[in-house]
Amino acid sequence: MRILVVGAGAVGGYFGGRLSLIGRDVTFLVREQRAAEIRDRGFEILSPHGDATVRPLVVTAGEIKGAYDLVLLSVKGYELANAIEDFAAAVGEHTAIQPVLNGMRHIDVLTDRFGASRVLGGVCIVATVIDEQRRIVQLNDMQSMTYGELDGSSSARLETIDHDCQGAGFAANASSSIVQEMWEKWVFIAALGGITCLLRGSVGDIEAAPRGRNLTTAMLDECNSVAIHSGYGARPDPLARSTNMLTEAGSALTSSMYRDLRLNRRTEADEILGDLCVRADAAGIRTPLLTAAYASLTMHKAPA
């Protein structure tokens, strides 16, 4: 299977890099400067699961020749429109597009552009950053990728994707309930991102503050109420895991959105929080904490 990974950032670089290291046919679609960097010296992964140097194939948008079997799409939500134009030439009649973006808005965008038959659902769990030396640094030992047909069916292409993802060192799972799992991740990261950005601290910092735990669980309840109204409320076990992670005493856990905020970078506020607010408004659901977190982030003016 020919795999095109769109972007070699913290997430795409990590999963695509791990697949490349076990000999899968992986090419990275990157900008010209990043392409020159990778062609010159590859890129490094620093991880609790083992460090590695990856020297993959790379292309820029103008260098794409022919269709790929799988497009693994891992860009930030605000980069989606530009990414689509970059990888469109790689999409053929039988290409599968597997996004691992946050939220759900991107599914509508991709199906509108390429047709529902080409789009899969996807969820990845990993905490990675790009450091000052352009290395991909994994912050903890969590690493998994889940994928599935949006209608929950099994398919030959899903079996092929699952086969090629096995053995790369991360947990890889084909799912018959991928939309449910995407919503559950969205509820969790919206609650985590919303509360850490609103209160400007880690999970442990907020837990130690007066009424901090109450605010965190209220934020989680607001996010999940939107999911419930949409038909995808978090199931008991995932909801319990989310609650435990969000209220763990002494935890240094933060959200990528909060890390971006602290570094004065653009955030995915619209995709993670704003879209939930829109859905809440349409359903008549009150979400005061979620709304406050989103409003606060819209006031943050990072460089474009």
Token pair belonging to 146:
């889940």
Which residues are catalytically annotated? Answer: 185
Token pair belonging to 9:
């950032």
Ordered by start, the domain boundaries in the chain are 2-176, 181-298
* Equal fold, 2-176 vs 181-298: no
Q: What is the pLDDT of residues 6-45, one digit of tens each?
A: 988 999 999 999 999 999 999 999 999 999 999 999 999 9
State the 10-residue block means of pLDDT for the chain, 304 residues long. Answer: 94 96 97 93 94 95 96 96 97 97 96 97 94 92 96 97 96 98 98 98 98 98 98 98 97 93 93 98 98 94 64
How far apart CA 2 and CA 19 sit, in angstroms, is: 11
- Please, what CATH class does the domain formed by 181-298 belong to? mainly alpha
How far apart CA 241 and CA 207 sit, in angstroms, is: 16
The crossing angle, in degrees rounded to 10, of helices 212-229 and 178-199 is 150
Closest CA to 83 of 23, 47, 29, 124: 29
Phi/psi of residue 179, nearest 5 degrees: -65, -40
Could you write out the three-class secondary structure of 60-123? CHHHCCCCCCEEEECCCHHHHHHHHHHHHHHCCCCCEEEECCCCCHHHHHHHHHHCHHHEEEEE
pLDDT at 304: 58
pLDDT at 303: 65
Indicate the fold that domain 2-176 takes in CATH: Rossmann fold (3.40.50)
Q: What is the DSSP letter of 169?
A: S
How far apart CA 170 and CA 223 sit, in angstroms, is: 28
Q: What is the pLDDT of residues 157-191, one digit of tens each?
A: 999 999 999 999 999 999 999 999 999 999 999 99
**C-alpha angle 98/38/77, rounded to 5°?**
35
pLDDT at 7: 84
pLDDT at 300: 79
